[in-house]
Amino acid sequence: MIYVSVIVITILILLLGGCTFMQQERFGAEPTGERLEKVELSSNYVEGQFQNQIPTPVLKEGENTLSIIVSNMFSSAKNLQPDHPLPTEKVDLKSLPIEKDIIVWLGHSSFYIQLSGKRMLLDPILSDYASPVSFAIKAFSGTSLYSVDEVPHIDLLLISHDHWDHLDYDTVTKLQPKTDRVFVPLGIGAHFEKWGFSDKQINESDWYSEQFVDTNLTVYLAPSRHYSGRGLSKNKTLWGSFVLISQNKKLYFGGDSGYGPHFKELGQKFGPFDLVALDMGQYDPRWPYIHMTPQEASQAALDLNTKALLPAHVGRFTLAQHDWREPFNQIVAQTQGMPYQLYTPIIGQPLMLDDEVKPNSHWWE
């Protein structure tokens, strides 16, 4: 989806001297040299752009940027964001026992993960906004819990794609001195190289590539159904999802994705999963192919053959015209009678993977 807020921001940027603005470091860089050569060798890169496994237009036929802007200007949508600070639980991440397998949802699609003795961050947005400028796409009140100083040393930083609500310049540049390795889809290494990360830190991969963290943990980059780009150029970098396999756990983090055949493919190749976190927010009938509704996320959980499901792409930013609580209410309804469990931690609440009792309160109510 071309997020409407980002579209409006882009128009403002162009009016205020866009070319100069977009030369800022935070926009990153397109792959060149050896990085571009690696991109061009990918079977997923066709005619100068990365492609999805199946045809995936960003917008539904008949929709365009202008029609979306006009429609939203006259929209009667209500409750797009909460009118009160959300409940959260702030723990000392540095003191969490490293021998415990733990997931801490940080809101939206950001996660702190401990697995097999390794500390990981996935798509961390520790800033109070998710856009090129600080006054747009603001985080919900009370949901910006951590500074980079409060985060422990990170063994692996995982980035699913380079959209602003998944790759935050301010967060990752501050993380650079305390991050061992970065695992990103093809092309995104150019951003990190521009931002001061070393070649030793940056690991770029294509779909189904694996990264051995050590003998106890393997991380795979897997497909998703989406698109990429931080500026005017689209799909010059790859997007994806992550499979994490330890000696006794299989986890999947779906990144941004519309529903597609890749979920069943991943379930057959890697499943059954102990837990999956899936995109189920910021959906809209005008962009039905690149984000999932809760109903589609429930089907994807079945395809993946998972024991448990975590909501993602919800709870911190408004990027679409649905009630912010709607994804939670709908996924609760969809889960009734399903063979998987739904976990609904509040932002910051540790989910201890080996504990029998898991968080499932309706905190958004």
Evaluated on CA atoms 125, 221, 32, 53, the torsion sign reads: negative
Which amino acid, one-letter code, is at 33? G
Tens of pLDDT along 152-183?
A: 999 999 999 999 999 999 999 999 999 999 99
Q: How far apart are CA 234 and CA 10, in angstroms?
A: 14
The answer to whether 259 and 86 have CB atoms below 8 angstroms apart is no
19 Cβ contact list (under 8 Å, min separation 6):
none
Quickly state the pLDDT bin for 49 (edges 50, 70, 90).
Answer: very high
In a domain, 364, yes or no: no
Query: Residues 212-217: contacts with CB within 8 Å, 24+ apart?
Result: 213/116, 213/118, 213/155, 213/156, 213/181, 214/116, 214/118, 216/116, 216/117, 216/246, 216/247, 217/115, 217/116, 217/117, 217/118, 217/244, 217/245, 217/246
In a domain, 231, yes or no: yes
In a domain, 112, yes or no: yes
Q: How far apart are CA 24 and CA 19, in angstroms?
A: 9
In a domain, 270, yes or no: yes
Q: How far apart are CA 161 and CA 109, in angstroms?
A: 11
The Cβ of residue 82 has, within 10 Å, a number of other Cβ atoms equal to: 16
Residue 13 has pLDDT above 70, yes or no: no
pTM over 0.85: yes
Tens of pLDDT along 52-84?
A: 999 999 998 877 777 787 777 777 789 999 999
Measuring CA to CA, which residue among 8, 130, 137 is closest to residue 65? 8
Cross-strand pairs, 158: 122, 183
In a domain, 358, yes or no: no
Q: For the chain, give me the number of helices (H) and strands (E)?
A: 9, 16
In a domain, 360, yes or no: no
The answer to whether 234 and 228 have CB atoms below 8 angstroms apart is yes
Which amino acid, one-letter code, is at 124? P
Domain residues for the domain of 120 are: 4-352
CATH code where residue 343 lies: 3.60.15.10
C-alpha pair distances (Å), 46 with each of 145, 189, 290 = 41, 19, 19
Q: How far apart are CA 162 and CA 313, in angstroms?
A: 15
The answer to whether 195 and 169 have CB atoms below 8 angstroms apart is yes
In a domain, 84, yes or no: yes
Quickly state the pLDDT bin for 349 (edges 50, 70, 90).
Answer: very high
Mean pLDDT of the residues in the chain? 93
The answer to whether 278 and 297 have CB atoms below 8 angstroms apart is yes
H-assigned helices in the chain: 4-15, 18-21, 33-40, 65-73, 169-175, 189-194, 262-270, 294-304, 326-335
Tell me the mean pLDDT in the region 272-299: 97
Number of domains forming the structure of the chain: 1
* Phi and psi, residue 191, nearest 5°: -60, -50
Q: How far apart are CA 257 and CA 313, in angstroms?
A: 10
In a domain, 359, yes or no: no
Tens of pLDDT along 182-220?
A: 999 999 999 999 999 999 999 999 999 988 888 899 999
C-alpha pair distances (Å), 34 with each of 104, 105, 178, 236 = 36, 36, 26, 14
H-assigned helices in 286-356: 294-304, 326-335
Measuring CA to CA, which residue among 361, 360, 353 is closest to residue 103? 353
Quickly state the pLDDT bin for 232 (edges 50, 70, 90).
Answer: confident
